[in-house]
Amino acid sequence: MALPTQPYKGARDFYPEDKRLQKYMFGLMRRVAESFGYEEYDAPVLEPLELYLAKTGEEIVNEQTYTFEDRGGRKVAIRPEMTPTVSRMVAAQRQELAYPLRWYSIPNLWRYERPQRGRLREHWQLNVDIFGVDTVQAEAEVIQVAAGILKAAGATSDMYSIRINSRKLMDFVLKDYLGLDGVQRHTIAKLIDRMHKMAHETFVAEADAVFTPSQRDAGASDKLLELLKCTAIEQLPAEVRSDKSALELMELMNTMKEARLSNAIFDPTVMRGFDYYTGIVFEIFDEDPENNRSMLGGGRYDGLVGLFGVEPVPTVGFGFGDVTFENFLRGHGLMPPMRPETDVYAVLIGDVFAKAQPVIAEMREQGVNVAVDVSGRAPDKQIKTAVKKGIHYAIFIGERDLAIEQFEIKNLLTGVAERHSIARIVSIVRDYRSDD
């Protein structure tokens, strides 16, 4: 029986062309994050299971985390997210670090669930976090990092929307404004999270079923619906609008405006699944009608670092997955032209492999990436290979060329061939490469 060639369920192989796209996406992420002063860190793929028990959502730990017991009887998890890990790292050096601390990482993460569009079992996720800032200036900054990556990818503001809400505000709404108890709040919160996926009548009916008769008489249902319709803080009822959390949101929205992020809106239906969020939460939505989904999300989690027994550190961060990013790029026609790493394909004519070495070495020393065809096949076959690999230049090396130290360099995309010295060829290829 033959071994299967397909990768593990929900995981991907990265062939060179796939890896090229990944390098492009990660490159954008790194460049933009570093332009804001973020420093890259990393950590093990394995963590003790306890790390996730405290604050990650229950279902994620119990059903969506890969776990096993090691030979020493320790319960181990393959990291399903990076936030607990980075909190652990910050807590470990709580006193030594320089705040505000700006860190980013692009870890691969695993979740055990059924793969579907935009969600696999293994994915890579940019994590951007700022530690030690308790004002909404932190939120404003990380949102700008997120938007900056999309902008660097060539996205325009109509392609996505930045939707902002606040856990504190929703707590105030559900507890003080609507007077719900703990269980009711939890149920309604989950319901709001699903709101856009269900028929409006279903939502109304399910929400109504949560309220007690006296709450219903007090118009809880209508109050909730009215509130969820708001798309700006100013539209909130006066009682809600004067809460501290609303003022905070207003300040953030104002900064968004100053930062020219015109597609940032207040959206009370943005809840986020994790239990550890404590304040502002936000998502960036892909506005592609074929792919209308949250592609990036984050928020404030001031309580996590403190779980490790040190003084708490206020924190804001977001995660941005490679799968949703790739869908976004494809959906909006933002896929970049992929250029192979190899600049020049050396076509050898006749048995000149040994004699050609100095010429090839010279090109490489000058920074040109050269792949040599060592197949001994006819020149036309060698060219076909170069074309198939997508290499842009071929250099022809035969006895004649070596004798006069002039070589033909052919642009395989245009078919144009010229004859030059190696020095000249090197400069032509370098100029061409730095074109874009």
Partner RNA sequence: GCGGAAGUAGCUCAGUUGGUUAGAGCGCUGGAUUGUGGCUCCGGAGGCCGUGGGUUCAAGUCCCAUCUUUCGCCCCA
**Binding residues for RNA, per CB under 7 A?**
1, 6, 9-10, 57, 59-60, 64, 80-83, 109, 111, 113-117, 119-120, 123, 125, 190, 193-194, 197-198, 272-274, 294, 297, 319, 321, 323, 349-350, 376-381, 383-385, 387-388, 394, 396, 398-401, 408, 410, 412-415, 417
Looking at the Cβ atoms of 240 and 398, the one nearer to RNA is 398
Which ranges of 36-96 does DSSP label H, i.e. alpha helix?
Answer: 50-53, 58-64, 83-92
Closest separation in Å from C-beta 111 to RNA: 4
Token digits of residue 8:
């593990």
What is the rounded distance in angstroms from the CA atom of residue 221 to the CA atom of residue 205?
Answer: 9
Q: How far is CA 396 from CA 87, 379, 391, in A?
A: 56, 9, 14
Q: Name the E strands within 56-121.
A: 67-69, 75-78, 101-105, 108-110
What is the rounded distance in angstroms from the CA atom of residue 391 to the CA atom of residue 413?
Answer: 9
Closest separation in Å from C-beta 143 to RNA: 15
What is the rounded distance in angstroms from the CA atom of residue 25 to the CA atom of residue 31?
Answer: 10
What is the rounded distance in angstroms from the CA atom of residue 232 to the CA atom of residue 265?
Answer: 7
What is the rounded distance in angstroms from the CA atom of residue 127 to the CA atom of residue 90?
Answer: 14
Q: Residue 23 corresponds to which amino acid?
A: K
What is the rounded distance in angstroms from the CA atom of residue 338 to the CA atom of residue 336?
Answer: 6
Strand 46-48, strand 75-78: pairing: antiparallel
Looking at the Cβ atoms of 240 and 317, the one nearer to RNA is 317
Closest separation in Å from C-beta 125 to RNA: 6
Token digits of residue 72:
């020493």
Looking at the Cβ atoms of 85 and 221, the one nearer to RNA is 85
Q: Residue 311 corresponds to which amino acid?
A: E
Closest separation in Å from C-beta 113 to RNA: 6
Closest separation in Å from C-beta 16 to RNA: 15
Do residues 123 and 108 lie in contact, with contact meaning Cβ atoms separated by under 8 Å?
yes
Looking at the Cβ atoms of 71 and 388, the one nearer to RNA is 388
Strand 160-166, strand 264-266: pairing: parallel
Compute the radius of gyration of the chain from its Cα atoms: 28
Phi, psi of 82 (to 5 degrees): -100, -20
Closest separation in Å from C-beta 270 to RNA: 10
Closest separation in Å from C-beta 96 to RNA: 26
Looking at the Cβ atoms of 198 and 232, the one nearer to RNA is 198
Looking at the Cβ atoms of 22 and 385, the one nearer to RNA is 385
Looking at the Cβ atoms of 97 and 349, the one nearer to RNA is 349
Q: Can you tell me whether residue 179 is helix, strand or coil? A: coil
What is the rounded distance in angstroms from the CA atom of residue 97 to the CA atom of residue 87?
Answer: 13
Q: How far is CA 166 from CA 8, 41, 163, 368, in A?
A: 38, 28, 10, 52
Closest separation in Å from C-beta 262 to RNA: 25
Looking at the Cβ atoms of 157 and 187, the one nearer to RNA is 187
Closest separation in Å from C-beta 388 to RNA: 6
Token digits of residue 304:
């996590």
Looking at the Cβ atoms of 243 and 331, the one nearer to RNA is 331
Looking at the Cβ atoms of 35 and 292, the one nearer to RNA is 292
Closest separation in Å from C-beta 184 to RNA: 15
Closest separation in Å from C-beta 347 to RNA: 7
Looking at the Cβ atoms of 222 and 399, the one nearer to RNA is 399
Q: Can you tell me whether residue 137 is helix, strand or coil? A: helix
What residues are paired with 264 via a beta bridge?
A: 162
